[in-house]
A and B are shown apart, each in its own frame.
Chain A
Amino acid sequence: MSSAASGITSPKKGPAALASYAVILVLFLAFLLPFVWMILSSIETGSGLNATPTWHFTLANFKAIMNVATVYQPMLNSLILSGGTAALTVVCASLAAYPLSRFHMRFGRSFLYTILFATGLPITAVMVPVYSLYARFNLVDSEPATVLFMTASSLPFAIWMTKNFMDGVPVSLEEAAWTDGANWLQSLWRIVLPLMAPGICVVFIFTFVMQWGNFFVPFILLLTPDKQPASVTIYTFFSQYGEVAYGQLAAFSIIYTAPVVALYGVLSKFLGGAFNLTGAVKG
């Protein structure tokens, strides 16, 4: 970061710097405020939508929801759905990225642009036809079928990211293996993938985090409460008990959000700041 180069807001001393710090403070508070309720009401006794703190702190809300039906089962379902999707996505994306990264193919570039375009397709718009397809083949309420759809919807961006990471592994390292008679699978497995392990982790975590928060897809495709992930059951909890048990809803929200925040921390460690993830978007 060069400090003198920032155009509109170079950090000079004096009133200009003071004004920018004031703007930063206002924005900071604006972004912070919506979180306040969640954290306060999860540990307060008089749970309601009132923002006035009661200053009576307790873990009762957490204790009340820590049972199989409310938290453990949905969290396990989330783990299975997101984990399964992330694993399958990484496998398919690594395989697909190999020819795209290693061979110059006539249609390679247009394929990649199609992939990038598919990244942006609104999933909401695809859900109605997917549902009617699933209904016709009796796949509604099936967890494996849901994982397959989630994988397909995560693949475009995952292929794009994996290809960019794979481009960073020099071809010259593989040439020796080819001389020794290794085929592409051996070369991918023994040489390329170990060298891009951090990139693979990034793709895995990114896919996992995205699917952990995915509400619409499981909401439409999974009907039995026992199979639904936390993103859906927390909404059901909200519409059933929201008015009476806000403290518990807040506690549930925190438990459900915690893994994602932790994984994001790991992710930014891998990336050395969050900039590289969006670097792919720079065009």
Chain B
Amino acid sequence: MTVATQPQTARIPVKGGARRPRRVRRLFGRLLPLGPALLLLAIFFAGPLIWSVYTAFTNMALSGSASTQFTGLENFRRMFSDPAFVKSLELTVLFVIGSAVIGQNLLGMLLALILRGRNAIVRTIVNGVVIGAWVVPEVVAGFAWYAFLYKTGTLNSLLHHIGLSQDWLYSMPMLAVILANTWRGTAFSMLVYSAALSDVPPELLEAAAVDGASSWKRLRYVTVPLIRRSIVSNLMLITLQTLASFGLIYVMTGGGPGNASSTTPLYMYQEAFQFYQLGYGTAMALVLLVLGALFSLIYLRLIKLEDS
């Protein structure tokens, strides 16, 4: 190994520039451990991403790559004049806002707040069930919700007495998958907010209470501004995760009935892997990535506004 072995303190800044070969060799030696990870990320992650940018502008189909032609913006033109795709995009946004931004985020916050300082047994039991929903593999979560909402399932036998029972997966498939995803993901937001809340200094809240601030005002003007960075990182992570959600919806409704719950990942799967339109599917994947970036930009913007 070419790493310098002289007794040196570790935190020597590596200066840029290659004035002497020895320095270059040392820098190379220090970067060597990054190699395997970078190689894997480049081949299996960055590579396909860059490849996807190219593929999105071709008419690539699975049948044979020989006939692949560069078609420019054709895929994108086709996409936005395809009513099924536009609908899938709307459903995706609805799914993200309904289940991540509102469902998981607010419910996670509520649970974190309401469980603070409760009896340890209550906390353990409630945490256990909420985290249980998060730990269960998504396919199993899909089965559980399918059975829960089925015609003769648990929910309907409970609602039977007040005459509200119906086939939820047909009458309101989007609400069904939004509830299921909220159920599954709330634990993550709850854990993030519990950790963030434990860093809020008690004195500040006490002082606000002495000044006569109501609990709502203490939450709005003391707690939330103090944990806003956690809120933004949490929103960003759960948004990106929800945007890509496939298995849960696929198991519960398969995108149906018709395409009533076919979010962009499901529609993309159908076009790319069932109709073998790889180029078209990849173009959709790019749109999905752009949508994720847009959401992230909005969140980062919000934190900037709050800072100034």
Contact = CB atoms under 8 A, between A and B. Distances in A.
Interface of A: 1-11, 20-21, 23-24, 27-28, 30-38, 41, 48-52, 91-93, 95-96, 98-100, 102-106, 118-133, 135-136, 148-149, 151-153, 155-156, 159, 171, 174-175, 178-179, 181-185, 188, 209, 212-213, 215-216, 220, 231, 234-235, 238, 246, 249-250, 253, 256-257, 260-261, 264, 274-279, 281-283
Interface in B97-134: 107, 110-111, 113-118, 122, 125-127, 129-133
A4 B37 contact: no
B33 to A, nearest CB: 4
B147 A130 contact: no
B41 to A, nearest CB: 6
Contact of A23 (B114, B219, B281): B114
A167 B222 CA distance: 31
Instruction: Count chain B CB atoms within 10 A of each CB in A21, A234, A282 and give the residue with the most.
Output: A282
Given A103-B30, A128-B272, A209 B152 contact: no
B48 A129 contact: yes
Nearest to A19: B114
Contacts of B247: 215-216
Contacts of A38: 140, 143-144, 147
B198 to A, nearest CB: 7
A118 B41 contact: yes
A212 B137 CA distance: 8
B236 to A, nearest CB: 7
Contacts of B40: 92, 148, 151-152, 155
B191 A34 contact: no
Interface in B165-194: 180, 183, 186, 188, 191-192, 194
A246 B147 contact: yes
Q: Which 7 A-B pairs have the closest CB atoms?
A: A122-B244, A5-B202, A213-B137, A129-B52, A152-B44, A3-B117, A6-B116
A183 B244 contact: no
Nearest to A276: B195
11 contacts: A7-B219, A36-B154, A37-B144, A51-B152, A103-B10, A121-B289, A125-B244, A128-B55, A131-B278, A171-B10, A249-B143
Interface of B: 1, 3, 5-14, 16, 29-31, 33-38, 40-41, 43-45, 47-49, 51-52, 55, 60, 62, 65, 107, 110-111, 113-118, 122, 125-127, 129-133, 135-141, 143-145, 147-148, 150-157, 180, 183, 186, 188, 191-192, 194-202, 205-206, 215-216, 218-219, 222-223, 229-230, 232-234, 236-237, 240-241, 243-247, 251, 265, 268, 272-273, 278, 281-282, 284-286, 288-289, 292, 296
A49 B62 contact: no
B16 A106 contact: yes
Contacts of A156: 41
B135 A209 contact: yes
Given A5-B200, A132-B60, A37 B292 contact: no
Contacts of A213: 136-139
B246 A124 contact: yes
Nearest to A249: B143
A8 B137 contact: no
A31 B133 contact: yes
A126 B10 contact: no
Contacts of B34: 95-96, 99-100
Contacts, number: 346
Contact of A96 (B36, B126, B127): B36
Given A3-B117, A124-B288, A279 B195 contact: yes
Nearest to B42: A152
Contact of A31 (B156, B183, B285): B183
B45 A132 contact: no
Nearest to A275: B195
Contacts of B157: 50-52
